[in-house]
């Protein structure tokens, strides 16, 4: 009896010691993070529970459920009066200064050596650990490749996108014209289609549907997403300990994908060298129009021999998969839920528009035809506004050692993170009206009215303003793809991809309406898409 009692006491003491040690470590790391944070001017107002050390712990825990409310409060109370405010830190997330919309242009105009988008993204995406090598995000050459090549090659790759969409949608939805098939919208539908379309553009048809390649590329993107969830929950002092262990997943999935991409890259490099050397057997050879070709051509032109290494090109395909698949899937997920939750007349109008334009252009999709799909463009853009995926999508880090002073007279020292609120802007009744409901054709009505006008009537219309209502045109009031020179370089591809996919879907399939739109939950500063099943069947064509 005494032996058991002694063991029980020892066991209780051991558990108490472990708990006390963990709590002490947590408190110390929180205090270190608080002390190491940049010193913000006293004149800056804070939301949440304030800025003192005494409430830091409360801010940390309440931030998981109240960050969205805090941002909205600060936007109404300070931003709309032209004032910046501070959003408190949360464990692994830093303190963030929300810049008012009136100062956004000032922020975007600052040179990269003063305010850096790259540094902000590097921190947010856990660049030390998440992308195989820190060099990949420190020098995001893959983004440069897209900026330089994607928009001007869109017309050429549209036929491949159309081909891929028709194959992938048929694989998921089947050919039954009688019975509706229930499928999970995110995992069963979008994640079985978008990765294949994305990789058709990145690596070509020979690999984009390879199950093992896709499984591991999706594994890589999941690793990055897990990091976005994991690291904010850990005190920063733990990052160097947990980070290298976490990075093993991304490295493993990269090594599994490179066995499919490296042979293609090496062969393409050899083909280019033979073509450039004047090999007569390559006189008629034309390089495939994909990311691998764009990288080789651009790196050769710019003398970037480091970016011509096959392994470097193979690694860069990974972050592009993450960026393309993750955000595109969430955008498509929200848009389809919003469209199917709206009045059934919305789907009918989108189907009519797609069918009409498809037939007008000789039963094919063209760049011009896709640009004339005003209703579908509006339905997607309105979903980006109504079902906002993030609290903010524009952020910059102060990297000038001397700091920077804003038009408001606030001096931000080195290391400060500045952001622009998107969530409250998207729901600002002064911008979009007091009725904050999903209005699918909010942005297409004026464009359609313009098209119906005579040439004399069109002279009096502000055409520039009309063009700015498109989903790929960014502005302070439309930040879904960011804004300024660092706006998402892939947004033109995303717009074409989604339009082709949605148009094909509405023209060829019946989708049951969703009776009530499910609620999107928020954890900290991140939205969690709801789980939704859709019911779909092949249309009977006359």
Known binding-site residue numbers for heme: 488
Strand 181-184: give its sheet, edge to edge. 181-184, 533-538, 509-511
Q: State how far the Cα of 99 lies from the Cα of 86, in Å rounded to an integer.
A: 9
Q: State how far the Cα of 84 lies from the Cα of 98, in Å rounded to an integer.
A: 6
Q: Distances in Å between the alpha carbon of 183 and those of 93, 167, 187, 338?
A: 35, 17, 8, 17
Environment class of residue 240 by beta-carbon count within 10 Å: exposed (0-12), middle (13-18) or buried (19+)?
exposed
Sequence-separated (6 or more) residues with CB below 8 Å from residue 147: 489
**Using alpha carbons only, how large is the chain's radius of gyration in Å?**
26
Q: How many CB atoms lie within 10 A of CB 341?
A: 16
Q: State how far the Cα of 403 lies from the Cα of 414, in Å rounded to an integer.
A: 5
CA 30 to mean position of chain CA atoms: 30
Q: How many CB atoms lie within 10 A of CB 540?
A: 8
Q: Distances in Å between the alpha carbon of 211 and those of 84, 201, 354?
A: 48, 17, 31
Q: State how far the Cα of 82 lies from the Cα of 408, in Å rounded to an integer.
A: 8
Q: Under a CB-based contact definition with an 8 Å cutoff, are residues 381 and 443 in contact? A: yes
Q: State how far the Cα of 100 lies from the Cα of 87, in Å rounded to an integer.
A: 13
Q: How many CB atoms lie within 10 A of CB 160?
A: 18
> Which residues fall in the annotated binding site?
488
Q: Tell me the CA end-to-end span of the chain in Å, nearest whole number.
A: 85
Q: State how far the Cα of 176 lies from the Cα of 482, in Å rounded to an integer.
A: 41
Strand locations in 49-143, DSSP E?
85-87, 96-99, 115-116
Q: Under a CB-based contact definition with an 8 Å cutoff, are residues 63 and 88 in contact? A: yes
Ordered alpha helix ranges (H), 277-400: 291-302, 310-341, 344-360, 367-371, 374-386
| Site of tokens 């048929």 | 170
Q: Distances in Å between the alpha carbon of 276 and those of 126, 280, 297, 441?
A: 40, 10, 11, 51
Q: State how far the Cα of 102 lies from the Cα of 420, in Å rounded to an integer.
A: 10
């Amino acid at each position: 009896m005494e032996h058991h009692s002694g063991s029980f006491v020892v066991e209780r003491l051991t558990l108490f010691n472990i708990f006390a040690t963990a709590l002490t470590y947590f408190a110390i790391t929180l205090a270190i993070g608080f002390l190491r944070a940049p010193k913000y001017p006293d004149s800056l107002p804070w939301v949440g529970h304030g800025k003192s050390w005494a409430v830091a712990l409360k801010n940390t825990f309440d931030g998981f459920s109240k960050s969205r409310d805090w941002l909205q409060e600060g936007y109404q109370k300070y931003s709309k009066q032209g004032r910046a405010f501070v959003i408190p830190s949360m464990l692994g997330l830093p303190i963030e200064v929300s810049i008012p919309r009136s100062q956004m242009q000032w922020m975007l105009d600052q040179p990269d050596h003063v305010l850096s988008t790259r540094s902000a993204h590097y921190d947010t995406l856990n660049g030390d650990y998440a992308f195989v090598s820190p060099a990949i995000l420190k020098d995001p050459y893959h983004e440069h490749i897209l900026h330089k090549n994607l928009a001007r090659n869109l017309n050429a790759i549209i036929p491949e996108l159309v081909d891929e969409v028709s194959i992938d949608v048929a694989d998921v939805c089947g050919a039954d014209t009688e019975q509706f098939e229930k499928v999970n919208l995110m995992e069963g539908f979008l994640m079985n289609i978008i990765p294949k379309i994305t990789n058709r553009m990145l690596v070509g048809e020979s690999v984009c549907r390879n199950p093992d390649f896709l499984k591991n590329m999706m594994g890589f993107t999941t690793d990055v997403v897990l990091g976005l969830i994991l690291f904010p929950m850990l005190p920063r002092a733990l990052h160097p300990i947990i980070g290298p262990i976490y990075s093993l997943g991304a490295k493993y999935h990269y090594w599994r994908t490179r066995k499919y991409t490296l042979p293609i890259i090496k062969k393409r490099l050899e083909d280019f060298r033979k073509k450039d050397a004047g090999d007569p057997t390559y006189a008629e050879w034309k390089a495939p129009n994909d990311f691998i070709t764009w990288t080789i051509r651009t790196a050769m032109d710019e003398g970037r021999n480091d970016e011509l290494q096959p392994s470097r090109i193979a690694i860069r395909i990974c972050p592009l998969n993450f960026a393309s698949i993750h955000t595109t899937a969430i955008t498509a997920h929200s848009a389809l839920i919003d469209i199917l939750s709206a009045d059934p007349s919305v789907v009918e109008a989108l189907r009519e528009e797609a069918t009409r334009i498809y037939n007008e252009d000789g039963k094919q999709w063209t760049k011009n035809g896709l640009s004339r799909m005003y209703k579908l463009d509006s339905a997607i853009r309105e979903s980006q506004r109504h079902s906002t995926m993030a609290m903010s999508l524009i952020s910059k880090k102060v990297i000038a050692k001397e700091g920077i002073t804003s038009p408001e007279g606030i001096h931000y020292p080195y290391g400060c993170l500045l952001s622009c609120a998107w969530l409250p802007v998207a729901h600002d009744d002064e911008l979009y009206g007091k009725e904050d409901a999903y209005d699918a054709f909010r942005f297409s009505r004026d464009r359609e009215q313009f098209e119906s006008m005579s040439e004399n009537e069109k002279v009096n219309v502000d055409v520039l303003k009309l063009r700015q209502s498109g989903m790929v045109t960014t502005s302070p009031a439309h930040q879904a793809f960011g804004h300024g020179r660092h706006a998402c370089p892939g947004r033109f591809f995303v717009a074409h991809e989604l339009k082709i996919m949605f148009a094909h879907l509405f023209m060829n399939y019946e989708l049951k309406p969703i009776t009530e739109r499910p609620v999107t939950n928020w954890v900290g500063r991140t939205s969690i898409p709801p789980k939704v099943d859709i019911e779909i069947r092949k249309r009977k064509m006359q």
